[in-house]
Structure 1
Amino acid sequence: MADSGSKIRENDEVPGRVKETFCQPCLSKDLQTVADKFCSTCDEFQCNDCSNVHNALGILKKHKLVSVNEAYAASISFQMKALYLCDQHQHSFEFFCEDEKKLCCSKCAIVNHRKCHSVVEIEKIAGNITSPISTLGEKLKEAKEAAESVARHIRSSKDQLAQDIKDIHVKIRQMRDEVMNMFVDLEDSINKRAEILQKETLRNVTKRQTQNEKHLAGVTKCLETIENIFKNGTPVQIYIAQHKMESKVNALCRNIKDEYKKLEKMKMSFQFDQTLKLPPLPITEYVPGQLLVKSNRQEDVHSVNMTMTLTPVSAIGLKKTEDDIDEPLYSGIDFLTDGRLVAVDNRNKKCLVYNERIEKVGSYQLSRHPLSVVVISEEELAITSGYQIEILHVSKCNKISSRRICKVKTQYYSICLKDDRQFVVGTYNEPKPVRIVSLTGKEHDFSVNFPNKSYPLDGSACTYIKSSDNVVITDRNEHIVYIYDIKTDARVLVKDDQIQEPRGAAIGPWDTILVCCRNTNSIVQISQTGSILSSYRIDMMHPCKICVSRDKSLLVVTNSYPGNNTMQKFKIST
């Protein structure tokens, strides 16, 4: 029987409305003609014109044609007959099992329900039905409405999805335009920065060039003088000239050798940050990268040695004493101007003084846990402890007393001198990694585009190179040492397998950078241009703090290794 869904126009909700079925052959020709007949052999509804073909063609004369109404009646009768038959045995339903609420044929009643207590004939209970069949129709209508609602929701979702995809394309195009505008601004900004950097670099190069020309003129003049004396002078004159000019020649040679060591090849580049932020941040507030300037020593000056060597001098174990609460942990160390050493014990809240043989000669109890220390002058030092910087006095006889306490608004950790009136101080849990603090506690920022990164306590340390106005920052977790040029806002990033968990940093000979590396138990020497000059493994687990004497001849390092904390002193040879 043909599916009555083949273009049938109907509305069962309006009484008396007759179903209207279209001729299927006409529909294939895009014509809507009401069907009058149904051919069960063709399984098609047909109009009179199309059904007359059966009379014209002999092969179709045996097809059975009935009216549309008869076809519907036969369809309903077929459907009703299917309702009356048991699916399992194809027998008519005669019984109803009240225990299991199931219709049963005679076989079902005997085979499947013989143990049930109430199996009754349908004829006896048919008149007692409490729920009319119209109730089922209502349920079906509700189900139909729900299904149509689901269909509408799915169509709406599909339409919304298509619209969302269109909106994404529009947004991407907008982002592309914004990024292009940002790069136009970026190019202008970098050009201005590069021009400033170029002028600064050329100014420094010109100074060195002028100085070298003076040295060259001095050498030329000395050579002419020596040649004239050897050609025309008497033995007495030659002897006097030799001794008189020796110091001048030695000074010239030293100056030229120093210039020779500093020979560098300048290279400028721009390095993008790993994460690129998009507008609405203006380019004046955020530059997605760093302008880098790197100097490489020329290949023809490889014989110039800027490396140092370390020779162990003495070492002591840092053991718990009777007046200690816990095992000592030295979080900061520095040399006094006369060669004595000051250290701060974070766990026991102490400031200690050691003589040149690393013998403890003075101690002072602090009110807070100290984090780092720096010597300010012959008898003054500063100690950081979070939101305060305390200034202490250390006498020649090793007595320590508090001078004043500066309350600050930023949490500070590492500390070093910038000049006679200011510190360079590393932060923790703050948006700026490094700041400037005066000796009176006044705070302000560098004019440098530092990354907006907050370091945890002991996650970073800083130091300062006065001769070049460079700030050095260690990044413990990322295994990186940053060198920032304050004048030009350029940055050198040092990342190497020899740098693993860099902790404390100090300035060594030739203003090179010395960094404690915890994971490699070593001290790495780095040039200001980012070259690894040397690496020294030391007999110490997990070195963390380092300091260098004023004349760059001595180095002291401490560690943080539970049960085996030590302090070692080395002689620096160049």
Structure 2
Amino acid sequence: MADSLGKLKEDDEAPCSGNDEVPGSIKGILCQSCLSKDKQTEAEKFCLDCNEHQCTECIKVHNVLSIVKTHKFVNADTDVMKQRSFDIKGLERCNQHKKLIKFFCEDENQLCCSTCAIVDHRKCESVVEVQKLAGNLMSSNSLIKEKLLAIKEKAEGIIEQIMSSREKLDQDVNRIPETIKQVRDEVIRMFEDLEVSIVKRAKSFQAESHTKLTKRQTRTDNYLSDARTRLETIDSVYRNGSSAQQFIVEHIMENDVKTLYTNVSEEYQNLETASASFHFDETINLPPLPITEYVPGQLTLQFLRQGDMSADMSLTPVSSIDLKKTGDDRSEPLYTGIDFLPDGRVVAVDNENKKCLVYNEKLEKVGSCQLSYVPQSVVAVTEEEVAITSGSDYRVEFFKVRKSNEIISLRKFEVKTKYDSICLKDNRQFIVGTIDYQRPVRILTLTGVEKDFSMMFSNKTYSLDANACTYIRSSDKVVIAERYEHTVYIYDAKTNTKVEVKDDRIQNPCGVAVGPSDTIFVCSNGTDSIVQISQTGQILSSHKIYMDLPYKACVSRDKSFLVVTNSCIGNLKLKKFKIS
């Protein structure tokens, strides 16, 4: 290749002119290569591949370089109807030498003119004519076009989503005054003040959201415009251009389209929907305070990512019971662990009175048994089997909870670490929160084998009741609520990363559970509420549940019910909510 290129005469193509077309009468036609050197020589042949008239001397160049030896010639006086070159706006010319691109270096993945081939690619082993490669290019299989179509589709989807979000946000905001007005007749002055306050905040959020959505739409409009322009170019090339021109355009657009595709994909993945709503509290207790200090409702202003949009929910009280000291109790009960059995019954452990108890779907106590140790947490393992940890003893014990609500001890095993909270990892393993151990959670098998996670946790130990954990099976994530740091951590076992969630709505988080759409429910003991968090760490909602100091929570297997217990001495409750 190096020797052949060394003998190749420099090919200074002249700009396209009338001489580039082969006329019907060819007598007196001059060699185009010689013309570019201000030399007039009568043409002997016309090269069908080079698309040029050439004299005898210039034709000899074809015998020097192997890559042009196969070119076909016809006599210069032959009436050759050349296909007119489709205008691709100069893309077919080398940026450096302004000559026609005729070669492609496969070694360096570059388009070349004859000068590029001689000067820059002399030592390359595979410099091929574009014409040969272009012949194998199938326009119907254009990867560039497929990506551009995908970009166009995603960009249009983003625009549609943004416009829909705008419309929904406007409708949401406009409905807020109507919602307020339905109740305002009874307490007219208070609700007039309320409307002014809430609508002002909603309008402010609306303005901020419009600004954010406008910026996103502007970016996406630019992407969409760029994609459409490139699609028009590439469609025109495939309708009117030669195969060589098609190959050149594909190659030139490749990197820009990759970047464009990445930008639009990122916009698509980060789609957000703005929403606004106002919901009145279930029970409106109006204290003797100015309306600015007490708002009898909750204004929700939020951006939700596409993956979090299905997580919006409400909690409706179904049943509630007071937990009182009974005849055989030594003190008021304290339920440090609760869980749903698969059939809808609830099992609880009373830490103060060493008991395991069973409640039916109406929260009526239907069974109990005395334990020989202080229980700490409980998890349903199978249809009729539960496992109970102890905060004071190195043991885990299994019990059978029969359909008749009789509770029978099955087996137990000794462990080397004390465990607080417990939940299922899979059918053979538990995730357990540790007490006074160098790692916050461990894995415990159903046969008693203890092992550590491979992921990196915070290097700290926790005392009894200082943290609670749960596990999200679908995404292999461990959730840890640090009570005295007012923080929830979401650890991703697949990527060995974590998300830290701190918010004024999360105070003294004591219990965690996995809810609908694999969102996270947190008992915020310090705000008397249940906080819902997405797996990405976004606060989706916060629900006042009219229960002092919510402590532990569990969710039914079908994700339709939530049961919460509290730690308020003298006002202990067990409360069930419908999730919708």
TM-score using structure 1 length: 0.48
- Of the two, which has the highest radius of gyration? 1
TM-score using structure 2 length: 0.47
